[in-house]
Amino acid sequence: MVRQISVFLENKSGRLAEITRIIGEAGVNIRALSVADTSDFGVLRFIASDTDKALEALKAAGVTATATRVIAAEAPDRPGGLASLLQVLSDNGVNVEYLYAFFHKSGQNAVVILRVEDKEKTLDIFEKNGIKVLTPEEVYTV
């Protein structure tokens, strides 16, 4: 499964710039990212080209960062593509905690990063419904 890095962020100016600078200086590329926030704090989630290296650099800088396993699935790049993928999950009673998407550089498809409660069940459902799940290598080296 793909490893995503999550970082605790206070809502203050320059924080995101600082975090991305640390990642950049460690020579790590950000493949995809999303930020969720409340009025006080936020959580930055991203896929790195080298998860361990990025984690190490962030922790060395005293940043609260953890790795979480997420699923990367392909959705057809056409109107209704994401909806069809989500419909499959909904039909099977899978709750999505959060998701974000990005474009595959070479392919025709979008990549959807999903965090769900029951990962094994979700992988099964995707397999049965012919939805392609990407390997970590495929995602890290997009």
Residue ranges in contact with other proteins by CB under 8 A: 4, 6, 8-10, 15, 36-38, 40-41, 43, 45, 62-66, 68, 97-98, 115
State the nearest-atom distance from the C-beta of 6 to other proteins, in Å: 3
Q: Which residues pair with 44 in a beta bridge?
A: 7, 35
Residue 94 CB partners (closer than 8 Å, separation 6+): 116, 117, 118, 121, 122, 125
Using the minimum distance from each CB to other proteins, give the nearer residue, 6 or 109: 6
Residue 99 CB partners (closer than 8 Å, separation 6+): 112, 113, 114, 115
State the nearest-atom distance from the C-beta of 57 to other proteins, in Å: 15
State the nearest-atom distance from the C-beta of 70 to other proteins, in Å: 9
Q: How many CA atoms lie within 13 A of 111 on its CB side?
A: 24
φ and ψ at residue 33, rounded to 5 degrees: -155, 155
Using the minimum distance from each CB to other proteins, give the nearer residue, 43 or 82: 43
State the nearest-atom distance from the C-beta of 39 to other proteins, in Å: 10
Using the minimum distance from each CB to other proteins, give the nearer residue, 51 or 131: 51
Using the minimum distance from each CB to other proteins, give the nearer residue, 63 or 131: 63
**Class of residue 128 by CB neighbours under 10 A (exposed 0-12, middle 13-18, buried 19+):** exposed
